[in-house]
Amino acid sequence: MTVYAIWPSFIAIGLVMLLACLPVFDRAGFGPARGRRIDAVDGLRGFLALAVVLHHSIIYYEFMRNGAWAVPPSRFYTLAGQLGVAYFFVITGYLFWGKIVRARGSLDFASLMLGRLFRLGPVYLLVASIAMAIMFVRSGARLNVPAPQFFMELVQNLSLGIFPLVEINGAPGIGTLTAGVTWTLQYEWLFYFALPFLAIFARRDRLHLPFAVLATMLALIFALISPDRQFALYSLFGFGMVCASLEDESLVLRLHPAFASIGIAAILAVIGMNYETSYRPDVSVLIGASFYLMLSGGTLFGLLVARPSIRLGEISYCIYLMQGLALFSIFAIPPLRAFALAADAYYWIMICVVIVVLVLAALAAHVLIERPGIELGRRIQRRERESVAAAGERQPQVHRNAERPVGENLATMESAIK
């Protein structure tokens, strides 16, 4: 057995699935799975987050041995992390473009951004604050850079992922404390900021689908021309948009779940056997096709709609953001670090420990921070809508007075003066 063996990762995931069956999740307010397609998407999120955790767990092995934070020398674990990120981007494109299409381009951008701030912000601020506190202690718990520079570093690192994380107070290593996952938030925010422009093409029926297809094709063409991976990443959002438009136009097939699941598994096998990275235009096409099959009924033989999968999907954002802190917290303990590096089998035992600790910590963060933040954002949104509605109810009276004949208004004014 080596650290790069594949089968231990399935044992780790199975352990987490069993963990998600515990009554503590029931007490946390998680409802039962309903078996719908949106449940399959939610269930997918949990596995995507766990795939990224496994990816970074293998990277952490090399990091502890030689200090290098680099792509692991394993196709399976490289693709696990990259496919996790890729499908997250597809899901974002699908969900938000779908909202715009259903609203026929009537986008309340302020309300959407408010919801995103309260959805993404609280957990991000928690993770970034803990990481910066650790780095400040590592740098001697004293100010090592000019105060204005330190302030700007704080501001940038607390920008909810809109800007990349930077080293703080002259101490390197904040990226490893977060497992380097925050870079994906920059692409998410860029997509959110583009939504008002994109909404223009959803105002007319039959226009949103051609636009989504054209935008995705352009991203793929630029991905073929440019060596930069960013266009391949943009195309993933595009495939999510295409799937949302196809669903709105009732062009999603209704396949037997087993048949669709076989198709998804086959596509994943093709990617795993033929590609070293998922950040390529041809892999984006395969990912988009597999996501379409999921909307067509594929649940990976019921795995994506199982109750533990849905529960892990609920806390997937916390799992994703907190994985670096979990790895650091466990392996910063000298006896545990020494045990993990003593043998490859021991390292996998410690990976299972890390994942269990991470899932429990993510559950606590979801219940105590993420969920209250979402509810606070919704209350603010409701208050704003109620204020607008109240203003609208007062407005007609003004219009009725304004619409009265001029002579009648003058007569009213004269009688009032008298």
Reported as a single tens digit per residue, the pLDDT across 113-139 is 999 999 999 999 999 999 999 999 988
Two tokens at 410? 């003058």
Please report the pLDDT score of residue 28 as a whole number: 67
Backbone angles phi, psi at 168, to 5 degrees: -125, 135
* Secondary structure percentages of the chain, helix, strand, coil, to 5: 75, 0, 25
Please report the pLDDT score of residue 388 as a whole number: 72
Q: Which of 32-36, 238-242, 317-321, 348-352 has the lowest mean pLDDT?
A: 32-36
Give me the mean pLDDT over the 38-61 stretch.
92
Identify the sign of the CA torsion 329, 334, 339, 342.
positive
Q: Report pLDDT digits (tens) over 263-317.
A: 999 999 999 999 999 999 999 999 999 999 999 999 999 999 999 999 999 999 9
Backbone angles phi, psi at 19, to 5 degrees: -60, -40
Structural contact between residues 102 and 108, judged by C-beta atoms closer than 8 angstroms = no
State CA 6 to chain mean position distance.
25
- Residue 170, pLDDT > 50, answer yes
**What DSSP designation does 286 have?**
H
* Alpha helices, H only, 67-161: 75-102, 109-138, 147-157
Residue 147: exposure state from Cβ atoms within 10 A (0-12, 13-18, ≥19): exposed
Structural contact between residues 132 and 154, judged by C-beta atoms closer than 8 angstroms = yes
H or E element that contains 376: helix 371-402
Mean pLDDT of the chain: 88
418 band by pLDDT with thresholds 50, 70 and 90: very low
Please report the pLDDT score of residue 396 as a whole number: 57
Please report the pLDDT score of residue 25 as a whole number: 82
Q: Report pLDDT digits (tens) over 333-370.
A: 999 999 999 999 999 999 999 999 999 999 999 999 99
Please report the pLDDT score of residue 267 as a whole number: 97
Structural contact between residues 10 and 80, judged by C-beta atoms closer than 8 angstroms = no
DSSP three-state, residue 171: strand
Structural contact between residues 143 and 150, judged by C-beta atoms closer than 8 angstroms = yes
How many CB atoms within 10 Å of residue 90? Answer: 28
Separation CA 382–CA 387 (nearest Å): 9
How many CB atoms within 10 Å of residue 31? Answer: 10
Angle at 242 between CA 280 and CA 267, to 5 degrees: 50
pTM for this entry: 0.90
Backbone angles phi, psi at 43, to 5 degrees: -65, -35
Structural contact between residues 136 and 171, judged by C-beta atoms closer than 8 angstroms = yes
Give me the mean pLDDT over the 200-213 stretch.
91
H or E element that contains 262: helix 257-274
165 band by pLDDT with thresholds 50, 70 and 90: very high
Q: Across-strand partners of 168?
A: 171
Give me the mean pLDDT over the 4-13 stretch.
94
Distance between start and end Cα atoms, the chain: 100
- Residue 401, pLDDT > 60, answer no
Separation CA 379–CA 375 (nearest Å): 6
Please report the pLDDT score of residue 171 as a whole number: 84
The Cα-based distances of 297 to 175, 231, 264, 305, 388 in angstroms read 39, 29, 10, 11, 40
Residue found under tokens 């000298």: 334
35 band by pLDDT with thresholds 50, 70 and 90: very low
